[in-house]
Amino acid sequence: MKYYDFLEKKPSIGKLVIVEGIERILADRALELVIERVLPPDLRDMNLERFSASQLDGVNRVREAVQAMPFLASSRVIAVTDSQTLKTAMRHELWEVAESVPEGNTLVICDLLSPRSQRPQPFGAMAGRSALRIDTTANEDVRTRFIEEALQELGASAEARVIATLARSEADLASVRNDLEKLALSGKKITHKDLEQESLTIEDPKAYRYAGALVEGRVADAMQIAHEMFANDRNAAVPLIYALATECGYLWELARAGGEIPARMRWRERALRPIASRVGEQRARHAFERAVSAFDSIVTGKVDDPELVVDILTAELSTLSARH
């Protein structure tokens, strides 16, 4: 069942729910909707347990939570997020837990893989019709609806060409939402010219060359690209740091167990995977969070000198790929 079908048709929710597909923002919303529909607010704290797969050493805690009785309620919800990061053995163990959920309880597994993925086999494919499957994969129609809803929530409007361009782009919907939030700050109708000048989903090749060079340890090249961009555009910090956050996000994903980057970026995997192995999940996550924090400080106007922010961040991450 597609995400918007789940939203509108409100199917019954049984013992097992698989949230699949690759759009994290839709997956997060789907999970919260499941929780809202199963558990009343006043009973939620006592009957909801969440687990991040990347932090699990085994599935015993999940198994115990699944088998526990609801407390002063008729239902209990257990959510396991980022299960796409689990190694094969733990995926099999988690599936054994999923097959033995008692009546009254609901296990939600967020498995952000394409339903057509072959390796690893998605939980949705294992479950078939035995689970409620919510597919967050977004085609152009879904993306268009998401964009139109986001504009409405922001109290903004945009030219039809803007909506069409974003709907056809390859950027994830979270990035599209961030773009719209930024573009909506002006309070005027978003034009295609605005999108070309300010949008982060319209990738700047130079900015991504900067990010790639820095993550790969070619610091001098990265600094040269950044200085060239600032020489031509005083607002260059926005695309530079966005590109760096994106690259660090890919690095973090590859540093996780079973992590995969989007198919359109697989050409970067050959360079990034060995770096991810050296950096490790914790340092890669820190780099991503630092870039996101720097980006936020620039977009929200918290800093007076964005170029200095780029220089400092470049220096901080200059040894990221060094061997230890």
Judge if 181 and 211 occupy the same domain: no
Assess whether 31 and 99 both reside in one domain: yes
- 235 assigned to some structural domain: yes
Whether residue 144 lies inside any domain: the answer is: yes
Q: Do residues 212 and 309 both lie within one domain?
A: yes
Task: Write out the chain's pLDDT in tens, 324 residues.
Answer: 999 999 999 999 999 999 999 898 999 999 999 999 999 999 999 999 999 887 888 999 999 999 999 998 999 999 999 898 888 999 999 999 999 999 999 999 999 988 888 778 999 999 999 999 999 999 999 999 999 999 999 999 999 999 999 998 877 888 788 788 888 888 889 998 888 776 655 555 788 889 989 998 889 889 999 999 999 888 899 999 999 999 999 999 999 888 888 766 766 787 898 999 999 999 999 999 999 999 989 888 888 899 999 999 999 998 887 655
Q: How confident is the model at residue 100, as a pLDDT?
A: 96
Residues 312 and 275 in one domain: yes
Q: What is the pLDDT of residue 119?
A: 79
Owning domain of residue 192 = 140-198
Q: Is residue 324 part of a domain?
A: no
Domain boundary among the residues 81, 115, 135 is at: 135
Together in a domain, 189 and 108: no
Q: Does any domain span residue 172?
A: yes
> How many structural domains is the chain composed of?
3
How many residues appear in the chain? Answer: 324
Statement to judge: residues 32 and 102 lie in one domain? yes
Q: What are phi and psi of 19, to 5 degrees?
A: -100, 115
Residue 209 lies in a domain: yes
CATH code for the domain in which residue 223 is found: 1.20.272.10
Q: Measured between alpha carbons, how far apart are the two ends of the chain, in Å?
A: 47
Question: Could you say which of 155, 173, 198 is where a domain stops?
Answer: 198
Among 135, 167, 187, the domain-final residue is: 135
Sign of CA dihedral 61, 64, 67, 69: negative
Residues 99 and 154 in one domain: no
Same domain, yes or no, for 231 and 125? no
Cis peptide before 122 (omega within 30 of 0): no
Same domain, 231 and 291: yes
323 occurs within a structural domain: no
Q: Are residues 50 and 149 in the same domain?
A: no
Residue 264: predicted pLDDT: 61
The predicted structure's pLDDT at residue 322: 67
What are the beta bridge partners of residue 17?
Answer: 108, 132
* pLDDT for res 177: 87
- Domain membership of residue 108 (yes or no) is yes
pLDDT value at position 202? 55
DSSP code string of 40-70: -HHHHHHHEEEEEGGG-S-SHHHHHHHHSPP
Residue 7 lies in a domain: yes
Q: In three state form, how does the secondary structure of 15-38 look? A: CEEEEECCCHHHHHHHHHHHHHHH
With 0-12 / 13-18 / 19 or more C-beta atoms within 10 angstroms meaning exposed / middle / buried, residue 32 is exposed
Instruction: Give the pTM.
Output: 0.66
Residue 125's domain is classified under what CATH number? 3.40.50.300
**Do residues 26 and 106 both lie within one domain?**
yes
pLDDT of residue 201: 58
Residues 181 and 224 in one domain: no
119-121-123-126 Cα dihedral, nearest 10 degrees: 180
